[in-house]
Structure 1
Amino acid sequence: MTDTLNDPGTEVPHPIETDFEIGQDNVQRFGLDIHNPVFAISSIAIVAFVIITLMFQGQATDFFGWLRPFLTSTFDWFFLSAANVFVLFCLFLVFSPMGKIRLGGKEARPEYGYLGWFAMLFAAGMGIGLMFFGVSEPMSHFTSSVGGTAAEADARTDWAPLGAAVGDAIAARDLGMAATIFHWGLHPWSIYAVVALSLAFFTFNNGLPLTLRSAFYPLLGDRVWGWPGHVIDILAVFSTLFGLATSLGFGTEQALAGFNFLFGWGTGNVAKVVLIGVITALATISVIRGLDGGVKILSEVNIALAVLLLLFIIVVGPTGVIFETIFSGGVAYARDIIPLSNPFGREDTNFSQGWTAFYWAWWISWSPFVGMFIARVSRGRTVREFLTCVILIPMLASVIWMGAFGGTAVSQVMADSSAPVIDAAQELKLFVMLEQLPLSAITSFIGIILVLVFFVTSSDSGSLVIDTITAGGKIDAPIPQRVFWCVFEGVVAATLLLVGGSSALTALQAMAVSTGFPFTIVLLTMCVSLYIGMRRYLKAMA
């Protein structure tokens, strides 16, 4: 991939006039090319977090158990409102004259074909999440019939409250699919698209560094190279690291559950640390190989395995029911997207706070990582093409995935209200569902491999992104720096899993929400800055 920032022969169309010079704040120490003070503050804070959390495990467990529900119950309206703004802003850009802007200038052309581009979008954006929630979320919404208070949801021990009639169960299935698609559709990918487009536009069209602070140049001017910019980048590092740790924690729990399900391996703390260590080592190798030699190859391998598993489910599973679930769930999503998105006056607090507010905070905490990664591989696309593909293609893939995996599990429960999948732990539901189909040992093993490879692609691509931020926007920082962040992603994930104990996932979710909250404000401001920058760009081109 061409580095427009470090290649003096590259012509940047209509660059923003700025006194910033690449490398002016970078220093070389111990073989590292670091951007002061972002690297220093971020790395010291993360190390301190790990040490303090391990020293005061009891207090940390209590704190994490309080933090997540406090934030999601107090600020659910804020998360839901912000996500709606991102969707509407993306729709505005698609249909406005700004949609014709080409990332990199009029002569720029895409550096990756659609297949490789889509593979990297999908693997980086939602891989582990789809594996973890592909069966469990449609099942959860189906059995609770979506909504109600947390106490009411807990009281529903099976699907009987939905009514024994098939019609009632089908309505609940469609409502559950609509809720699931809502969490994996337009809203999350609009969040990613806003960040990715901002970074790509200000980097490729204005000659600024590939880092979060650049997106705020129209508002802050040269102050983005000072402390206001440092704060933005430090928040981006924290958000990315804890968002990644949450996903890696989900992946670890599911992979260990799968190994234990198939081979009787343990799922204790030692097993968690060993697995995270092995995957971090593999991710480190991929990081050393770089974007084309590591991340791109693993992403394409993962997509191939995911497609094979998906096709297997569709062919040997309840094929007709799967397509019916995909279609009727999609229709229900289109029908109910406005009430699902409503941030005010909601009575279904279990859904809006326990599910949606957490999801939006999680996606937002992931957005610097996914957005920067998407930006790096999207040079040459028009804004309209970029937004359409980045939002719609992964959304459609998610709908098909959830319809196939979730629809199969729900059909098993509709056929038998005591089906094993209904009582299985969240991280086991995928493997219990596959057990009811032919070749379950093989497909379950493929499922584990998918989780692990998604684990690796998330870790290595996340390391590249954090490294870029802490190196002041450079994409060719020294390898030891990439390795440092890759290792600490694993350390943070392991720490939160160990400290969380039986509520490990709560600890992971708490940190994702806590970093997602302040970064939501950053993203809303970013929309204003991007609009101003694109409007100026169009005037300059006229």
Structure 2
Amino acid sequence: MNDDTDSQAIPAPEGAADIIATDYEIGQDNITTSIGPFGLDIHNPVFAISGLSIVAFTFLTLAFQDSVGPIFNDLRSWLTGSLDWFFLASANIFVLVCLALIVTPLGSVRLGGKEATPDYSYFGWFAMLFAAGMGIGLMFFGVLEPVYHMAISEPLGVPAPFDESGNLIPENVDAAVAMGMAATIFHWGLHPWAIYAVVALALALFSFNKGLPLTMRSIFYPIFGEKVWGWVGHVIDILAVFATLFGLATSLGFGAQQANAGLDFVFGIPNSVNMQVFLIIGITAVALVSVLRGLDGGVKVLSEINMAIAALLLLFVVFAGPTGAIIGGFFTNLGEYAREVVPLSMPFGRDDDGFRQGWTSFYWAWWISWSPFVGMFIARVSRGRSVREFVVCVLLIPSAVSVFWMTAFGGTAIEQVLTNPESAVRTYVIDSYVPELSLFGMLSELPMASVTSVIGIVLVIVFFVTSSDSGSLVIDTITAGGKVDAPVPQRVFWCTFEGLVAIALLLGGGLGALQAMAVSTGFPFTVVLLLACWAIVKGLASEPR
């Protein structure tokens, strides 16, 4: 990347649909950027409103740390408890839209035009997908969630395999294990990747094929016409900035807590909020270096390194753990997921409020709040793919890899819990609930625990960096009116405030505050994504196939 402030939005390819016509030129005039103080490429008024709002939020949260915590927790409880049906129903729609695009003629449209070729190899493409999309989450929840759902949350009313005294109930084990894995895969399979795919596909289509700026407002041109260049579009882009920033802050909070827990577990470094703040500051500084190097020199390189290290850790767990059970469990768990995905997706008529509201509705809101960030990032690296290839790769292949990851890490942890009443995983998940230590507890009972725990810490930190810098690049693009190479000071501003927002929320309510802001920004953005589904169909219908 460079800081050429005269760069323009991606030009319309030859044969672009009439959908942009002359209104695109009018729109370009309305979103012209200008150089403001400190060399910022200001998109009027998206940068000003979102930037000032984030600055004010950060300082007010830090100033009233003791007062805002209960407010954040109450907000999260109300949103997930009252709107769980809305989040579940919306996520189902996203999955159905993606599956329909695979099997209909619309899937033959190529992103970038009929002659476009991919910018990245499959390996580089997949590496960036995983590092940006789910890296920290897989590390944090890979052990925690299968064990928790098996032993505590009781999805769909399936009873846990332990009684109130912690004694094993043999007749409950098989059903509880199957449901624990199915419920975990449900949260990391088709639904979250469908959310990402909807945003990514819409952005890629309207930018690469229609010649519109690479920003969220462009998706809604078929619906609102030239109004997207006015306040309708400003509101959409501002919501995208808020959703991205708070969704990312939640993940950074998870990452800081897990990295701190790992450092305490391996090296005895105290596990405290102050240490987590220090970690966020240090890792944000590293992310700044990657941001300045740009997409190819920073994010892509780190993503490929992280992909390789994650693959090595995964292979170690497979071969050091119950290898046969893991390999066989992959197919068994896929079958259980296929059998339970519809019942787990139902927004009504269930008696598992704790699981549905405390886990699923939060997850869907969190994925939706992440979707502008991950979606735009995926769009930027997906030119040249057909819609069918794009949806299959973004939806099905990452879901399969997530299933294998959860089977390896979660399956190993479940076996430890069931065969050893004093296992570390049982202590950290069931008995005392220290979720950030669940991964390290599982690794502690395998060979070379000290080495693999250090590798786990490194993975968490590098996933942390790739999420932060790719998020900064995306927010920068939105607030610069779709430019992909806005000035350096603007990238620095957003990367810095991502870290500051995470710090403010950690100090002003901890993990509950982080989750509350992800859910609260995810709710209005769900409406945006539902409209985006309609826009995708209209846009694809006008494309040559």
TM range, smaller chain? over 0.9
Matched, 1:533 2:536: no
Asked if the contact 1:362/1:512 (under 8 Å) is kept, the reply is yes
* Residues in 2 aligned to 1:373 and 1:7: alpha-carbon distance in whole angstroms: 15
State the alpha-carbon separation in 2 of the partners of residues 312 and 158 from structure 1. 34
The worse-fitting range, judged by mean Cα deviation, of 319-328 and 26-35 is: 319-328
Whole-angstrom CA distance in 2 between matches of 1:226 and 1:522: 16
Report the counterpart of residue 268 of structure 1 in structure 2.
Answer: 272
> How far apart, in 2, do the equivalents of 1:452 and 1:373 lie?
20
What letter matches 1:164 in structure 2?
Answer: P
Q: Distance in 1 between matches of 2:521 and 2:80?
A: 12
Select 1:492's aligned residue among 491, 495, 501.
501
User: How is 1:265-304 mapped onto 2 (pairs within 5 angstroms)?
Assistant: 265-304=269-308
Aligned: 1:119 with 2:117: no
Structure 1 pair 532–156 and aligned structure 2 pair: CA distance change class (3 A): farther
The equivalent position to 2:62 in structure 1, one of 29, 54, 61, is 54
C-alpha contact 2:11 2:212 (8 A) present in aligned 1: no
- 1:511 corresponds to which residue? 517
For the Cα contact (< 8 Å) 1:86–1:194, is it kept in 2?
yes
CA contact (8 A) 1:121 1:374 kept: yes
Code of the residue aligned with 2:469 in structure 1: it is D
User: What's the % identity of the aligned pairs?
Assistant: 61
Aligned-pair distance for 1:376? 0.2
2:431 aligned partner:
none
Task: Normalising by structure 1, report the TM-score.
Answer: 0.95
Distance 2:395 2:352 in 1: 27
**For 1:404-483, what aligned pairs fall within 5 Å after superposition?**
404-424=408-428, 425-483=434-492
CA gap 1:263/1:52 in 2 versus in 1, 3 angstroms: same
Query: What SS does the aligned partner of 2:155 have?
Result: coil
| In structure 2, distance between residues paired with 1:157 and 1:25 | 64
| 1:280 and 1:490 in contact (8 A); partners too | yes
Other-structure match for 2:210 = 206
**2:366 counterpart letter in structure 1:** W
Q: Distance in 2 between matches of 1:307 and 1:370?
A: 21
Q: Quote the Cα distance in structure 2 between the aligned partners of 1:156 and 1:209.
A: 58
How far is the alpha carbon of 1:164 from its aligned partner?
A: 2.5
Give the paired residue count: 532
Q: CA deviation at 1:157?
A: 6.0
Between the aligned partners of 2:306 and 2:139, the Cα distance in structure 1 is 12
Q: 1:117 to 1:288 in 2, by over 3 A?
A: same
Question: Are 1:139 and 2:142 counterparts?
Answer: no
Answer whether contact 2:13 2:209 (CA < 8 A) is retained: no
SS at match of 2:542: helix
Question: 1:258 touches 1:431 (CA, 8 Å); kept in 2?
Answer: yes
* Secondary structure of 1:21's aligned partner: helix
Larger displacement relative to structure 2 (103-112 or 416-425) = 416-425
Q: What is the CA deviation profile of residues 258-298 of structure 1, one whole-angstrom value per residue up to 9, with x for unaligned ones? A: 00001110122321121101100000000000000000000
Decide which moves more: 71-80 or 56-65: 56-65
Q: TM-score, normalised by structure 2?
A: 0.94
Deviation (angstroms), 1:313? 0.5
Which moves more between the two structures, 392-401 or 465-474?
Answer: 392-401
Distance across 2 between alignment mates of 1:96 and 1:331: 26
Alignment of 1:288-367 (within 5 A): 288-367=292-371
Secondary structure at the counterpart of residue 345 of structure 1 = coil
Question: How many Å apart are 1:144 and its aligned residue?
Answer: 2.2
Cα gap change, 1:406 to 1:7, in 2 (>3 Å): closer
Return closer, same or farther for 1:159/1:473 CA change in 2, 3 Å cut-off: farther
CA distance in 1, matches of 2:250, 2:68: 16
Tell me the C-alpha RMSD between the 2 structures.
2.1
- Point out the more displaced range, 201-210 or 16-25: 16-25
1:27 corresponds to: 34
Say whether 1:66 aligns with 2:58: no
Deviation at 1:529, TM superposition (A): 1.4
Distance 1:12 1:36, change over 3 A: farther
In the TM superposition, residue 32 of structure 1 has moved relative to its aligned partner by 1.4
Residue identity in the other structure for 1:21: Q
- Alignment partner of 2:17 out of 14, 17, 33: 14
**Alpha-carbon offset, residue 53 of structure 1:** 1.1
Q: Is the 8 A contact 1:283 1:486 kept in 2?
A: yes
2:12–2:212 CA contact under 8 A, matched in 1: no
The whole-number CA distance in structure 1 between the counterparts of 2:163 and 2:223 is: 50
CA distance in 2, matches of 1:156, 1:520: 39
